Amino acid sequence: MDARQAQREEPTGEYRAAELAAAAGITPRTLRFYRERRLLPPPRREGRIAWFDERHLERLRTISALLARGHTLGGIAELLTAFASGQDAERTAELLGLTEALPWAEEEPVRLTARELADHYRGETDPENLRLAMEIGYLRPAGETVIHVSRDLLEASSALVREGIPLATLLQAGRQLRAHADALASVFTEVLRQRVLPEVLAPEGGERAEPASAEDIERLTEALGRLRPLAKKAVYAEVSLALDRRLRAALEAGTAPDEPA
């Protein structure tokens, strides 16, 4: 855990209800309303006094930011519930070792609060877009935060939203892109399996006689370090050529035969 994450997750101060409302820039009445709607986790009790901490303040600021972007309280409640519902799933994945980074992985995951996610996508993180992003695999809930699988994808997609492309459109395109990317990856994986490391990678549908050793993992990581940049360059060139072909065809389709191209 880095210092910024520790600062976010560890309370640095406590507030009574009126102090918390003032710090969040809302009225005590609004705070009571949010508590009645269960938009805040329970405070720490000391006798009859309720004590709130920085996590409650962050939650209130998130709610205010989402309201300012046009979200309803009902939608915000769904969004926050979706974040919190991933807590047990994340712990299970940790116990199974599913969250451990692969030694050859290049993409850097990013942990985001609801407010940070909304800032990236100009407030388009409504519950339906959030559900679709999780279904595709771009986002994974982690307590009251989410983890985006790739910083590069996050930056590219948020830049496209700033260019005016709706997030819902990008997510639908992303679903198709992921399917094509899996197909491309299977091509290169098969090359690795047949021609580079046949003794390390099991055949399609087959099983290894014994678990991969540390030496196997090291050899695979080394091979990927050499071959992945070449595979990415080939895919980039093919996509670029295909895009040129598609755009040319789209332009020519709108041009009558007797008109100059």
Nearest to 157 by CA among 146, 141, 170: 170
For residue 113, tell me if it sits in a domain: no
Q: In the prediction, which pLDDT does 89 show?
A: 45
For residue 109, tell me if it sits in a domain: no
For residue 41, tell me if it sits in a domain: yes
Number of domains in the chain: 1
Question: Are the CB atoms for 166 and 124 separated by under 8 Å?
Answer: yes
For residue 48, tell me if it sits in a domain: yes
117: exposed, middle or buried (Cβ count in 10 Å: 0-12, 13-18, 19+): buried
CATH number of the domain that residue 42 is part of: 1.10.1660.10
Q: In the prediction, which pLDDT does 115 show?
A: 86
Domain span including residue 55:
11-68
Q: In the prediction, which pLDDT does 176 show?
A: 94
For residue 20, tell me if it sits in a domain: yes
For residue 93, tell me if it sits in a domain: no
Residue ranges of the chain with per-residue pLDDT less than 70:
1-12, 69-70, 82-101, 143, 204-209, 255-261
Q: In the prediction, which pLDDT does 96 show?
A: 34
Backbone φ and ψ for 162, nearest 5 degrees, come out as: -65, -25
For residue 144, tell me if it sits in a domain: no
Q: In the prediction, which pLDDT does 94 show?
A: 44
